[in-house]
């Protein structure tokens, strides 16, 4: 049985930290932590897993690749900044740009042949159809004829 990933209630933590440390806490924190890729939401319904990724400005399909690797969804590519600005001139930077690779552990088994992806208004939406995970499979076997063996033993 596959374990479900542990999830924190970040909204509660955000509110508690904001109450304790002040409203500017999260703004300061965002500036201090480097982005490792575009932000995303992932959720699950009865029959599907849906991943929505912010990837603004994608004008060519070769800039983003979506792959299924075991029980992980891999989304990688490049988000280009649509305007020219030097890093030294930025006094606040929250948007991600550059190359990235995001791997999302899936909470359920999915059908690798039923994955679809759409890109609309800067959002990449990947939909995966859930399948029942096989917990145990019985495998029938048979004993082959042992003719020609000197001592009646055989090896596998």
DSSP bridge pairs for 102: 75
The predicted pLDDT at position 30 comes to 55
The predicted pLDDT at position 8 comes to 63
The predicted pLDDT at position 7 comes to 65
Query: 66 in the Ramachandran plot: left (φ > 0), alpha (ψ -120 to 50) or beta?
Result: beta
> Which CATH number describes the domain made up of 37-129?
2.60.40.790
Walk along the chain (156 residues) and give the pLDDT tens digit of each residue.
566 666 666 667 767 766 777 767 666 665 556 567 888 999 999 999 999 999 988 888 788 999 999 999 999 998 887 888 888 898 877 777 888 999 999 999 999 999 999 999 989 999 999 998 766 777 888 877 766 555 555 555
The predicted pLDDT at position 144 comes to 76
Rounded to two decimals, the pTM is 0.65
Domain boundary assignment for the chain: 7-34, 37-129
| Angle at 141 (CA atoms; ends 140, 143), nearest 5 degrees | 155
């Amino acid at each position: 049985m596959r374990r479900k990933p542990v999830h924190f209630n970040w909204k509660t933590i955000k509110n508690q930290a904001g109450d304790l440390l002040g409203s500017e806490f999260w703004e300061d924190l965002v500036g201090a932590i480097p982005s490792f890729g575009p932000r995303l939401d992932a959720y699950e319904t009865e029959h599907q897993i849906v991943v929505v990724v912010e990837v603004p400005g994608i004008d060519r399909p070769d800039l983003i690749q979506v792959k299924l690797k075991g029980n992980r969804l891999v989304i990688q590519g490049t988000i280009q900044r649509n305007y020219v600005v030097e890093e030294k001139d930025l006094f606040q930077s929250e948007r991600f740009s550059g190359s990235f690779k995001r791997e999302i552990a899936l909470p359920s088994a999915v059908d690798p042949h039923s994955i679809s992806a759409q890109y609309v208004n800067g959002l990449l939406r990947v939909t995966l159809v859930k399948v029942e995970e096989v917990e145990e499979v019985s495998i029938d076997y048979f004993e082959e004829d042992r003719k020609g063996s000197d001592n009646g033993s055989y090896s596998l």
